[in-house]
Amino acid sequence: GDQVEQSPSALSLHEGTDSALRCNFTTTMRSVQWFRQNSRGSLISLFYLASGTKENGRLKSAFDSKERRYSTLHIRDAQLEDSGTYFCAAENAGAKLTFGGGTRLTVRP
Amino acid sequence: DMKVTQMPRYLIKRMGENVLLECGQDMSHETMYWYRQDPGLGLQLIYISYDVDSNSEGDIPKGYRVSRKKREHFSLILDSAKTNQTSVYFCASSSGQGDAETLYFGSGTRLTVL
């Protein structure tokens, strides 16, 4: 079936640094969503993209509009509260949503 | 206030017992989902409901059934729970329309089957 591969699986950043998470799809996807799961287990939606880019504060996400086979989540000026597990989920043409395995992000002082 | 509410938050059951997980949403969303989350596996879709009494199997429906009698409620039922159904279960909802297809998740139910 469709696969969604996230990289890296784990990431450690110092406060104030920038980084990018990536989500690759084995097939063309219709849309992608990014979520953050905090230490209590709550899943919060960050972005929904059908194409192009979206930005919210220090977070910016892009969805490759040409081939629709990958998406990125950029974190600028990482803060301690950005720590958590980030999931992407992609929807194929049949409206099936598949989650990636997640990236565990730790931001250190 | 847009919310997806799951009950209970924690649940311990013995193998063979029946389990009922409840989910409610106050956004009048048509589409609701049940996922389970296991370490290293991300979230896996169990069932999806497109509206009242309009339910479809997800990727791992075996051992589960669902009920959607009102738009705002979506229940997950385990008849005769098994130990491999120990997991964290998440309910989600979405309007299912265009850019508003964002999923809203509940806080999860941690189920332990002994």
Helix (H, G, I), strand (E, B) or coil at B41: coil
pLDDT at site B102: 81
pLDDT at site A41: 87
The pLDDT-based confidence of A96 (bands split at 50, 70, 90) is confident
Q: Which of residues 45-64 of A touch B (CB under 8 A)?
A: 45, 48, 50
Q: For residue B36, which residues of chain A lie inside 8 Å, CB to CB?
A: none
Which residue of B88, B98, B99 is in closest CB contact with A41? Answer: B88
Nearest to A31 by CA among A10, A1, A8, A54: A54
Which one of A33, A39, A43 makes the best mutation probe of the B interface by having the most chain B beta carbons within 10 Å?
A43
Question: If you average pLDDT over every residue of chain A, what do you get?
Answer: 93
Using CA coordinates, name the residue in chain A closest to B100: A48
Among A78-92, B51-65, B71-85, B93-107, name the one with the lowest average pLDDT. B93-107
Cβ distance B6 to B23 under 8 Å?
A: yes
Which one of B27, B54, B103 makes the best mutation probe of the A interface by having the most chain A beta carbons within 10 Å?
B103
Which residue of B42, B45, B104 is in closest CB contact with A101? Answer: B42
Mean per-residue pLDDT, B70-88: 96
Exposure of B103 in the CB half-sphere (CA atoms within 13 A): 31
Looking at the predicted structure, is the pLDDT value of residue A100 above 60? yes
Provide the terminal-to-terminal Cα distance of chain A, rounded to the nearest Å. Answer: 41
Looking at the predicted structure, is the pLDDT value of residue A35 above 70? yes
Task: State the smallest CA–CA distance between residue A65 and chain B in angstroms.
Answer: 16
Nearest to B11 by CA among B62, B80, B86, B90: B86
